[in-house]
Structure 1
Amino acid sequence: MKSRCRRRILFLVLCLLALLPRVGSAAETVPPLVLISLDGFRWDYCAHYADETPNLHRFMREGTSARGLIPVFPSNTFPNHYSIVTGLYPSHHGIINNQMRDVRLGPKFVSSQRASVQDSRWWHGEPIWATAVRQGRKSGCLFWIGSEAAIEGVRPTWWRPFDPQAPFSDRLAELVRWFSLPEPERPAVATFYFEESNSAGHHFGPDSPKLARTLRQLDAEIGEIRDRLARLGLTPNYVIVSDHGMTSTSPERVVLLDDYLDLGTVELDFEHSTVGLRPRPGVDPATVLTALAKLPAVAKAYRAEELPAHFHVDPHSPRVPPIWIVPAEGWQVMSRVSFAKAQREFPQGQHGYDPQLESMHGILIASGPSFQSGGTVIERVENIHIYNLLCAALHLSPAPNDGDDRLVKAMLR
């Protein structure tokens, strides 16, 4: 009898010992993370276009989401995509707008020019793909703002120059190739960028039925990403975001800057939904502001140090122009020359406005084994807090940033 008991105890001990390696391995396994951006996807598109977005609704039901994602100012593509992956406000990560000037660096930064986006001198902070590489993990970018530059000497493990003509099938094939690698060689984090919702919003306007076709296609492609990775036996964490929203515009809501200011007295860093001006040498800024005081009520001029506090603009940054014009929602301020060019195909939708405007808010959806499940919805949140959430889901130590752990507490299991 005693012998039988001893055998049973020994058997149980051996079973427990056999299980120990598996328990330790499971604890150390961190699901890969796929960060997806839908450029210009407004916070309410899923509600307005519910029939066109079944896959996004599935992610929302199975995971957790925010009522809206509040962009940084200006609510444009480059500053916001880079804030999402660094947790920094634009004055801290350096990309203060899609176009900008830094007299120390020579040529103007233009988001559509490869020489600009690949020049590492423009990019500060530490994006999530660099955080992963610095801590011994792999990362890949298809595509993301900032991923073409060696930032502080670090690049993603895999990346390609942005090519808007690259078909979805080619992008997906590359993503699948990365995740088909042996486990130690797979990316811990991969980014995937869709530009079509932004283009359609500009072209048709955010409230046009013509936008529905684009959203239906994007939703189907997101579903295909999920299906293809599932076929590899993977259950990644997904974080789906957009950089900003969209509001309706028209050529009837334009203020021509030439009507109020001699443009020969200033350099125009950027215009349209946000305007940045630099008085030329010898021109008194007060003179420029006096002229701009005559602007109609739909546009207001500011010294950089007097901009609203929630814009988080550092007037001491050499990239921040000393004078700004902030138009009301849906209005644009531009030179007569720019207006003439825009008339060829005037955009029906625009962004770049005050981040407090609901129309500028984007989406945030998190779904996967590391996130809360059951469709929990949290309140609107600034996008600077996403970087810390990504780091927590990946078990990475975050670099210094402007965010906090509110999304870690609200969305992580």
Structure 2
Amino acid sequence: MTHQTAILSPRPRGLLLSLLAIVAGPLLLGLAACGGDGATKLSRSDAAYAVEVLERAPEHGFATGSFNIAAVKQAREDRDPQAEAMLHAALADYARAQHGLLIPAKSRPAAWGMKPAAYDAEPALDSAIAGKTFRAWLDEQPPTSGLYIALQKAYVAARDGGRAAEAATLRANLERVRWLPRTDEATRVDVNIASATMTYFVDGRPQITMRTASGKPGDETPILTSSIDHIVLNPPWNVPDGIANEELRPKGGAYLAANNFTTKEDGRLMQKPGPNSALGLVKFDFDNPYAVYLHDTPSKAAFGRDDRAVSHGCVRLERAMDLAGVLLATRAGWTPEQLGEAMAKGETKTVKLDQPVPVRLLYLTAVPNGGAVTFLEDVYGWDAQVLERMDRRA
């Protein structure tokens, strides 16, 4: 069997090509309109506005010259064919930075566990240009929380006023606030590691505030966001191996017995529940990779000190039972009387919350306070580390 290929004469071939052009032409034009350069090209006025915003980026604590702005301006002045692409790339970088993505995850210390949400800047930018909402999109890139706005205003004032040390502290805090979720949960527990305080908010208003004691340098309390999902009444303390072997076992068997420590079947040390247990009367569990939690403590002396960075990383609460009471009150069957009865039994009881409560372990060394800003000791030295990483990216 032979295979023959038909060869068209010149006239039918020309007719066929004409028909293809008539059918495919509108489709090709449509594809060009959807994906071509025209769809993502800024108008002249929008491009000028974009340059203005990028020039003002240092007002948000970004290093002078960030986002390649000098090269972008020069390319525009020179009518460089790449100027549009350079501006587009600069805007995408700026948007990512405003979403907390300036510092790469791989360069963050392990204790900086607060991971900014992913943000795909290029499609969002292209969509805003195509939808003629570019300026609104660009204006929405910085966080809009009251905390961020207050710190940003204070930073500009400190920078313009020549207060370099305050400006540096505010820069670092602005960056850490950009790591937070874009929307604050109205009901939440906030712990500021730097100020050693905890605040429980309900509907955006503080309901309970108390002192805390957090990790000492070397045993830093991590920065993170999670949700308290379980409360443990009369908790035992399963001692981490490092603490058991380095601090407790060397004190001898008599000390361990006198303080209700016992060795479990797996060989690990545990302190039995009780008012003198290291975890006190209650602990608050939330998912995290550091195995940290909030808890009560029988050792109240630290709460009378200014320097309360004394723990192994978990957060001790000055009035832990007050927090337990208000959180359990949202769950059916847990009146103050019932909580008192459960505590009096001395038995360990784990209560799952019907509605987990968001919790944020923050590190704010600059805190807005009645129109002013309170500056706190950078007990972990994290401000300088943040600034070094920010400036390296510039």
TM-score band by shorter chain is: under 0.3
TM-score (norm 2): 0.24
- Asked which structure has the greater CA Rg, the reply is 2
TM-score (norm 1): 0.24
